[in-house]
C-alpha cells in the first residue's frame, strides 16, 4: 500500500500537534454575538413594522439582554487576546480584508446602539425607573424621537453582526471545514433562532408567543437545510474538505454534532414547538433551553473541529 | 525584488543546525521554533523514498495571514518578506489560524512571531542565519527578480516543488527534488 509518514520536529505551543489557538472565548463570543444579533434584528424589524403594542417582548424587553450579551462577548474576545495591552490597535485601523476588523467595528456600532435602544424603553419596562438627572430625561426624549432612525441602523447592522460570526471563520482557507460560505448564513440563522427563543421565553402574550414559535420553526427548517448543504458542499469538494466533513461523518465530532446540535438543538425543539402550536401543554422553557444549548454547541464544535481540519502535506 | 529560498531536499541530512542557528540568532524562546525539519517517508514497502525538508514561513506572495490581520501588524516588507510588528499585534490569533503551514506561533510575550528571513541581516547584505550555518550547504536565499542570483539559478536548473499551492498562497519556498 502506498503510504506516507511525516515526522515534524516542530512543537510550538498552541500550534502542535494540532492547532488550538482559539478556545472557549471565541466560541462564546460567536454565540453571544449571534444571540444579540437575533434579538436586535427582531426588535428593530417589528418596531419598523409598527408592532410596538403587539410585540412588547420582542421590541422592548428582550433587547435589554443584548447589551449584556455584547459586553460579555467583548470581554471574552479580550480574554482571548494574547497581547492585551495593545487592544486599542483594533480601533486605530480599518482593514477591509480582515473579518476580525469588520467585526470589531460592527460591535463598535451595535453595542452603543443596543444600549441606547434599551435605555429608550427602560421607563416603559420598569415604570419606577428614575433617571435622576434632568439631562438624562432630555437625552431619553431625544432618542425616543429618533427611534426610527436607530431601528433602521440596527436592522442593517444586526444582520451584518449575525453573518459576521460565521464569516470570521469562513474567511480562513487554511482550515477546510471553515472555508465554506455556508457558515455565514448558518450562523446568522442560528443566531436568529436563539433570539426568537429568548423572546418566546420573555413574552406573556399569546399572539407574540405563537408568532415567534412559528418563526423559530421556519428558521430551524432553514438551519437543517443549511447543515445538509454544508456537508453536501464539503463532500463534493477536494480531499481536504472531504476529510473535514468526515470529522462529522464517523469522526471525532460525529456524536456531539448530530446529537447535541442537530437532534437536541434543532429537531426536538422544533417538534415540541410544533406540538405546542397544536395546543399541547408543553412548558416553553424546554424548547427554549434546547435551542440555546444547540446554539452554544454549534459554535464550540465548529470552532474546535475547524482547527482540527487542515491541509495535508 | 522578490526574496525567496530554495531548499535542496537531496542534500539536507536533517541535522537541525538551521533550527538551532535561528533560535540563537533571533532569541526564539525555549520550546519554540521559527524553522523546523520535516522528514517524510513515502512509497510502497520496500520501495521507500525519504525526504528531508527544512521548513519555515513561506513568505507567501498571496499571504492570508496579512489579509486577515485586523491591525496591520502582519505586513509585507521589502522583497515580499512577511513580517509582524510586535507593538501593533494584539495577539488575536487570526493569522495563526489562517496559515496553512502553521508557520506562526504565539510568542510568550503576547505577540505573534515567525520567520523573518532574517531581514535584519539581509538588510546588511548577509544571508539568513539558517543559510549561513547549513553544513551541507543546501539552503539558498536570494532575489528571484535577479536571474543571476543563486536561488534563481537553482530553480532554473533543478526540478522543484512548492508545498500546498492548492491553498492559494503562492508560497516562496522552493524545494529542490
Ligand atoms: S507561510 Fe503562513 S505565515 Fe508565512 S506568509 Fe504564508 S501564510 Fe503567512
Ligand atoms: S495575532 Fe497579531 S499579527 Fe496576527 S492577526 Fe492578530 S494582530 Fe495581526
CA atoms within a 13 Å half-sphere pointing along the CA-CB vector of B171:
21
Nearest in space to B5 (alpha carbons), one of B69, B60, B44, B86: B60
CB contact under 8 A, A12 and B32: yes
> Which DSSP symbol is given to A259?
I
What residues contact residue A69 under an 8 Å CB cut-off, 6+ apart? A32, A33, A35, A36, A39
What CATH number should be reported for the domain holding residue A39?
1.20.1630.10
Neighbours of B106 (CB within 10 A): 21
| Candidate from A7, A84, A98 with C-beta closest to B69 | A98
A280-284, B81-85, B124-128, B154-158: segment of lowest average pLDDT: A280-284
What are the beta bridge partners of residue B48? B43
Q: Are B130 and B56 in contact (CB under 8 A)?
A: yes
C-alpha cell at A194: 436563539
Residues of A in contact with B91 (CB under 8 A): 81-84, 86
State the ligand closest to the CA atom of B110: 2
Rg (alpha carbons) of chain A, rounded to whole number: 21
pLDDT above 70 coverage of chain B, percent: 100
Contact criterion met (CB < 8 Å) for A83 and B168: no
What is the ipTM score, two decimals? 0.92
Q: Which residues pair with B106 in a beta bridge?
A: B112
Look at residue A8 and tell me if it is in a domain. no
Q: Is the minimum CB–CB distance between A30 and chain B shorter than 8 Å?
A: no
Which single residue is written with the C-alpha cell 413574552?
A203
Residue nearest to atom 6 of ligand 1 (CA): B60
Partner-chain contact B98 A311, CB within 8 Å: no
Nearest CA of chain B to the CA of A30: how many Å?
14
Domain count, chain A: 1
> Given this model, what pLDDT does residue A159 score?
97
d(CA B84, CA A222): 41
Q: Integer distance in angstroms from the first to the last C-alpha of chain B?
A: 25
Query: In chain B, pLDDT over 90 holds for what percent of residues?
Result: 99
Ligand 2 within 6 A of B94 CB? yes
Report the pLDDT averaged over residues B77-106: 96
Atom 2 of ligand 1: nearest residue by CA position: B99
Cβ neighbours of residue B120 closer than 8 Å, sequence gap 6 or more: none
Residue B10: pLDDT over 70: yes
Give the pLDDT of residue A9. Answer: 87
| Among B40, B43, B70, B74, CA closest to B57 | B74
Mean pLDDT of the B23-52 span: 94
* CA dist A139 → A5, A113, A136, B37 (Å): 67, 14, 5, 64
Q: E strands within chain A?
A: 3-8
pLDDT in tens, chain A (313 residues): 677 888 888 999 999 888 999 999 999 999 999 999 999 999 999 999 999 999 999 999 999 999 999 999 999 999 999 998 898 999 999 999 999 999 999 999 999 999 999 999 999 989 888 888 999 999 999 999 999 999 999 999 999 999 999 999 999 989 999 999 999 999 999 999 999 999 999 999 999 999 999 999 999 999 999 999 999 999 999 999 999 999 999 999 999 999 999 999 999 999 999 999 998 988 999 999 999 999 999 999 999 999 999 887 5
Beta bridge partners of B38: A8, B53
Beta carbons of A3 and B43 less than 8 Å apart: yes
Q: Provide mean pLDDT across the span B138-144.
A: 96
pLDDT for residue B115: 97
Inter-chain touch A9–B36, beta carbons under 8 Å: yes
Expressed as residue numbers, the domain containing A83 is 24-308
pLDDT score recorded for residue B45 = 87
Q: Kindly state whether residue A165 falls inside one of the protein's structural domains.
A: yes
pTM: 0.94
Contact between B175 and B163 (Cβ < 8 Å): yes
Contact (CB, 8 A) for B143 and B2? yes
Give the ligand whose atoms come closest to the C-alpha of residue B164: 1
Closest by alpha carbon to A39, among A127, A124, A102, A110? A110
What is the Cα–Cα distance from A35 to A176, expressed in whole angstroms?
Answer: 26
C-alpha to C-alpha distances, A104 to A28, A94, A97, B119, B137, nearest whole angstrom:
15, 9, 13, 32, 47
Query: Is-contact A52 A59, C-beta < 8 A?
Result: yes
Does the structure show a pLDDT above 70 at B26? yes
Angstrom distance (rounded) from CA A14 to CA A161: 28
Alpha-carbon distance of B163 to B165, in angstroms, equals: 6
SS3 A248: coil
Q: Is B63 in the pocket of ligand 1 (CB under 6 A)?
A: yes
B14 lines ligand 2 (CB under 6 A): no
Chain B positions touching A242 (Cβ under 8 A) are: none
pLDDT at A313: 59
- Region B3-176: CATH code: 3.30.70.20
The residue among A174, A242, A304 with the most chain B CBs within 10 A of its CB, best to mutate, is A174
With CA atoms as reference, report the closest residue to B56 among A156, A10, A100: A10
Q: Is B107's C-beta closer than 6 angstroms to any atom of ligand 2?
A: no
pLDDT of residue A1: 65
Amino acid at each position: 500500500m502506498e503510504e506516507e509518514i511525516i515526522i515534524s520536529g516542530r512543537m510550538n505551543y498552541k500550534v502542535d500537534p494540532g492547532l488550538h489557538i482559539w478556545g472557549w472565548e471565541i466560541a462564546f463570543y460567536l454565540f453571544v454575538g449571534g444571540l444579540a444579533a437575533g434579538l436586535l434584528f427582531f426588535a428593530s424589524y417589528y418596531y419598523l413594522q409598527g408592532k410596538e403594542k403587539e410585540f412588547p417582548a420582542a421590541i422592548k424587553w428582550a433587547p435589554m439582554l443584548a447589551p449584556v450579551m455584547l459586553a460579555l462577548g467583548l470581554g471574552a474576545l479580550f480574554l482571548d487576546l494574547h497581547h492585551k495591552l495593545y487592544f486599542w490597535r483594533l480601533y486605530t485601523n480599518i482593514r477591509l480584508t480582515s473579518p476580525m476588523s469588520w467585526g470589531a467595528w460592527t460591535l463598535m456600532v451595535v453595542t452603543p446602539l443596543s444600549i441606547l435602544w434599551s435605555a429608550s424603553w427602560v421607563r416603559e419596562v420598569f415604570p419606577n425607573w428614575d433617571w435622576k438627572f434632568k439631562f438624562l430625561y432630555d437625552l431619553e426624549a431625544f432618542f425616543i424621537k429618533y427611534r426610527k432612525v436607530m431601528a433602521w441602523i440596527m436592522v442593517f447592522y444586526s444582520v451584518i453582526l449575525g453573518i459576521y460570526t460565521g464569516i470570521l471563520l469562513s474567511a480562513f482557507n487554511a482550515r477546510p471545514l471553515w472555508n465554506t460560505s455556508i457558515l455565514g448564513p448558518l450562523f446568522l440563522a442560528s443566531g436568529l433562532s436563539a433570539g426568537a427563543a429568548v423572546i418566546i421565553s420573555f413574552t406573556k402574550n399569546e399572539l407574540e408567543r405563537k408568532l415567534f414559535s412559528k418563526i423559530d420553526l421556519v428558521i430551524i427548517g432553514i438551519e437543517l437545510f443549511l447543515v445538509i448543504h454544508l456537508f453536501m458542499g464539503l463532500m463534493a469538494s477536494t480531499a481536504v474538505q472531504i476529510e473535514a466533513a468526515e470529522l462529522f461523518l464517523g469522526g471525532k465530532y460525529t456524536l456531539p454534532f448530530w446529537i447535541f446540535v442537530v437532534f437536541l438543538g434543532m429537531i426536538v425543539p422544533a417538534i415540541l414547538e410544533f406540538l405546542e402550536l397544536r395546543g399541547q401543554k408543553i412548558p416553553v422553557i424546554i424548547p427554549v433551553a434546547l435551542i440555546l444549548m444547540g446554539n452554544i454547541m454549534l459554535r464550540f464544535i465548529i470552532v474546535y473541529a475547524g482547527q482540527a481540519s487542515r491541509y495535508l502535506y | 525584488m522578490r526574496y525567496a529560498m530554495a531548499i535542496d531536499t537531496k542534500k539536507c541530512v536533517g541535522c537541525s543546525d538551521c533550527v538551532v542557528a535561528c533560535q540563537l540568532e533571533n532569541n526564539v524562546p525555549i520550546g519554540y521554533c521559527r524553522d523546523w525539519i520535516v522528514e517524510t517517508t513515502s512509497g510502497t514497502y520496500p520501495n521507500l523514498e525519504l525526504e528531508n525538508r527544512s521548513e519555515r514561513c513561506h513568505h507567501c506572495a498571496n499571504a492570508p495571514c496579512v489579509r486577515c490581520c485586523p491591525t496591520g501588524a502582519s505586513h509585507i516588507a521589502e522583497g515580499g518578506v512577511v513580517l509582524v510588528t510586535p507593538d501593533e499585534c494584539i495577539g488575536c490569533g487570526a493569522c495563526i489560524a489562517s496559515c496553512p503551514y502553521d508557520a506562526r506561533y504565539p510568542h510568550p510575550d503576547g505577540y505573534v512571531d515567525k520567520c523573518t528571513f532574517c531581514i535584519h541581516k539581509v538588510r546588511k547584505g548577509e544571508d539568513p542565519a539558517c543559510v549561513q550555518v547549513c553544513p551541507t550547504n543546501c539552503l539558498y536565499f536570494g532575489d528571484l527578480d535577479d536571474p543571476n542570483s543563486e536561488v534563481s539559478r537553482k530553480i532554473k536548473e533543478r526540478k522543484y516543488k512548492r508545498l500546498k499551492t492548492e491553498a492559494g498562497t503562492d508560497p516562496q519556498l522552493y524545494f529542490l527534488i
